[in-house]
């Protein structure tokens, strides 16, 4: 309009001219409107880019290459070339390339980046491992079972992308409102132009045009159509970066209607990193002596609790001894000889199998369990020597967060696979009244469904 007014002013009737006979021009208004629209698009693109970073982060968990082993030895190949059935070697500190099953070796695997469980998981022969998780301590030979888009990591990425594209009920409502709102705004703009053109002062047509354009610009429902999808995209993206996967936009919207929050213990309320919190020696042994002997034996173990003992010995700068005749009965503990002394540490089952009387330490072990710790017996030369307590510290700010949720009227339920004594000790410190302990992972969904039915 303004360009035509400058180049061909003779085309405009007298009603479009001011008292000086000049046709009004609106270059500055058009510029401001264009800049605002482009600025909005730039902000939208930046928000989308930050949100897509969540998907890029998830994709970054998968390694770009894998070490395939065969008759001609090991070779590094691109991850895209891995086929189902290929044998892959994974060294300590490397990332599992694809979803596989262990066929050789034993190791602890950190699955926190995929499952959210911070405690390392012990993997032995026939155990399944997830692509993108971190092999920590031992070497593994695995057989690829799912590759490409079939891996769990790829399915999680698809889930995040699908959630970002999903439409919430309120978004559908906004689209319906916009469908009626736009025609209504156009009708109002035409009426505004007509009223000014008929009843307005001179130049009537100019005032009418300005009024019509003003109505269209101010009442444009751009924000109505963009606000909801952008909010969903940003919310889902920020959640993914924090390890929270939102199934779809409807689930995100329904969050404000929930009345019960079900939380896991390990890695959620606690740090998921076990620490030695107490050492109870019998007479004749010192704390550092027991810790040194225990750490010397556990140096050959791959159990997650062994790392806690080794970490405590490292913090105390203890010099470890060489271990001989090491053995690690699955699920019981570890044994070995250190500096000519036979050392055994583990649970009561192991002590009973070795005919070691732990009666003098049972009370101390029960006390540690009641405080939420795991009690490990240690025996030296066939005699009970003490108890080492290992606990998973509660996360800083967990109590304050739960208190804030309770003030909002939420009911808090702790659902954990740990024993009832440990779960009750943690719940007491956090002010949680409702506990469901000893729940196996495959049964946790049933517990949630039971709570939903209440």
Burial 397-427 (b: 16+ CB within 10 A, else e): ebeeebeeeeeeeeebbbbbbbeeebbbbbb
Question: In Å, what is the CA distance from 83 to each residue of 60, 70, 73, 99, 103?
Answer: 20, 13, 17, 11, 16
Does residue 102 register a pLDDT over 90? yes
What is the SS3 assignment for 121? strand
Domain ranges of the chain: 65-150, 261-270+394-453, 275-391
Measured CA to CA, the distance from residue 422 to residue 438 in angstroms comes to 10
The pLDDT score that the predictor gives to residue 307 is: 82
Measured CA to CA, the distance from residue 77 to residue 86 in angstroms comes to 11
Q: What would be the CATH architecture of the domain defined by 65-150?
A: Distorted Sandwich (2.70)
The pLDDT score that the predictor gives to residue 166 is: 61
Structure tokens at 334: 């570890």
Decide if 119 contacts 267 (C-beta within 8 A).
yes
Class (C level, CATH) for 275-391: alpha beta
The pLDDT score that the predictor gives to residue 404 is: 92
Contacts of 138 (CB under 8 A, 6+ apart): 92, 105, 106, 107, 108, 302
Measured CA to CA, the distance from residue 384 to residue 343 in angstroms comes to 10
Q: What's the pLDDT tens digit per position in 432-443?
A: 988 888 776 567
Higher pLDDT, 267 or 282: 282
The pLDDT score that the predictor gives to residue 160 is: 66
Sheet of 341-346, strands arranged across: 275-281, 383-391, 374-380, 341-346, 333-338, 323-327
Higher pLDDT, 273 or 78: 78
Q: How far is CA 236 from the centre of its chain?
A: 12
Q: Say whether the peptide bond before residue 437 is cis (omega within 30 degrees of 0).
A: no
Positive or negative, the CA dihedral 182, 183, 187, 188 is negative
The pLDDT score that the predictor gives to residue 368 is: 85
Mean pLDDT of the region 261-284: 84
Measured CA to CA, the distance from residue 186 to residue 189 in angstroms comes to 5
Closest to 137 (Cα-Cα) out of 153, 152, 121, 125:
121
Residue 264 bears catalytic tag: yes
Q: Percentage of residues in the chain with pLDDT exceeding 70?
A: 82
What is the SS3 assignment for 311? helix
pLDDT band at 24; cut points 50, 70, 90: confident
The pLDDT score that the predictor gives to residue 5 is: 78
CB atoms closer than 10 angstroms to residue 85: 9
**By mean pLDDT, which of 89-93, 171-175, 429-433 is the weakest?**
171-175
Radius of gyration of the chain (CA): 34
Does residue 420 register a pLDDT over 90? no
Does residue 57 register a pLDDT over 70? no
Specify the residue for token string 């928000």: 47
The pLDDT score that the predictor gives to residue 94 is: 87
Q: Which of 99, 110, 248, 264 is catalytic?
A: 264
Class (C level, CATH) for 261-270+394-453: alpha beta
The pLDDT score that the predictor gives to residue 141 is: 92
Host H or E run for residue 344 = strand 341-346
Q: What is the pTM of this model?
A: 0.52
pLDDT band at 101; cut points 50, 70, 90: very high
pLDDT band at 12; cut points 50, 70, 90: confident
The pLDDT score that the predictor gives to residue 22 is: 78
Measured CA to CA, the distance from residue 377 to residue 389 in angstroms comes to 9
The pLDDT score that the predictor gives to residue 10 is: 80
pLDDT band at 400; cut points 50, 70, 90: very high
Average predicted confidence (pLDDT) for the chain:
80
pLDDT band at 51; cut points 50, 70, 90: low
Burial 287-322 (b: 16+ CB within 10 A, else e): bebbbbbbbbbbbebbbbbbbbbbebbeeeebebbe
Q: Percentage of residues in the chain with pLDDT exceeding 90?
A: 8
Higher pLDDT, 319 or 22: 319
The pLDDT score that the predictor gives to residue 145 is: 92
Q: What's the pLDDT tens digit per position in 160-208?
A: 667 656 666 666 676 677 778 878 888 998 998 888 888 877 777 777 8
180-185, Cβ contacts within 8 angstroms, sequence gap of 24 or more:
181/219, 181/221, 181/224, 182/221, 185/215, 185/216, 185/219, 185/220, 185/221
Q: Ranked by mean pLDDT, which of 17-31, 192-206, 230-244 comes out on top?
A: 192-206
The pLDDT score that the predictor gives to residue 88 is: 92
């Amino acid at each position: 309009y303004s360009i035509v007014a400058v180049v061909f002013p003779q085309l405009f009737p007298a009603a479009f001219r001011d008292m000086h006979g000049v046709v009004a021009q609106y270059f500055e208004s058009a510029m401001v409107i264009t800049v605002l629209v482009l600025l909005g698009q730039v902000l939208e693109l930046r928000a989308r880019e930050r949100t897509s970073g969540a998907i890029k982060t998830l994709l970054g968990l998968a390694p770009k290459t894998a070490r395939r082993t065969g008759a001609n030895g090991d070779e590094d190949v691109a991850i895209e070339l891995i086929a189902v059935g290929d044998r892959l070697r994974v060294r300590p500190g490397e990332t599992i390339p694809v979803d596989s099953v262990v066929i050789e070796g034993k190791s602890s695997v950190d699955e926190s980046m995929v499952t959210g469980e911070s405690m390392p998981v012990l993997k032995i022969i026939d155990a399944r491992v997830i692509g993108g998780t971190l092999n920590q301590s031992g070497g593994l030979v695995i057989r690829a079972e799912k590759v490409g888009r079939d891996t769990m990591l790829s399915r999680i990425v698809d889930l995040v992308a699908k959630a970002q594209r999903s439409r919430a009920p309120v978004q559908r409502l906004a689209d319906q409102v916009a469908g009626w709102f736009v025609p209504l705004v156009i009708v109002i703009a035409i009426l505004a132009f007509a009223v000014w053109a008929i009843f307005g002062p001179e130049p009537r047509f100019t005032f009418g045009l300005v009024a019509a354009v003003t109505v269209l610009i101010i009442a444009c429902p751009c924000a109505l159509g963009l606000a909801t999808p952008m909010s969903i995209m940003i919310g889902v993206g920020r959640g993914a970066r924090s390890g929270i996967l939102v199934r779809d936009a409807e689930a995100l919207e329904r969050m404000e209607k929930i009345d019960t929050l079900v939380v896991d213990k390990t890695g959620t309320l606690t740090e998921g990193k076990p620490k030695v919190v107490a050492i109870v020696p019998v007479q004749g042994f010192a704390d550092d002596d027991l810790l040194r002997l225990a750490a010397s034996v556990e140096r050959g173990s791959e159990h997650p609790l062994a790392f806690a003992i080794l970490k405590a010995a490292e913090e105390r700068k203890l010099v470890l001894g060489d271990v001989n005749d090491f053995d690690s009965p699955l699920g019981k503990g570890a044994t070995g000889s250190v500096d000519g002394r036979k050392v055994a540490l583990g649970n009561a089952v192991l002590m009973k199998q070795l005919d070691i009387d732990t009666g003098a330490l049972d009370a101390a072990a029960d006390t540690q369990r009641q405080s939420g710790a795991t009690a490990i017996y240690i025996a030296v030369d066939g005699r009970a020597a003490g108890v080492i307590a290992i606990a998973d510290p509660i996360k800083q700010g967990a109590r304050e967060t739960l208190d804030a949720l309770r003030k909002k009227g939420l009911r808090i339920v702790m659902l954990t696979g740990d024993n009832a004594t440990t779960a009750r000790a943690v719940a007491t410190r956090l002010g949680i009244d409702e506990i469901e302990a000893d729940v196996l992972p495959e049964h946790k969904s049933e517990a949630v469904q039971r709570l939903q039915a209440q």
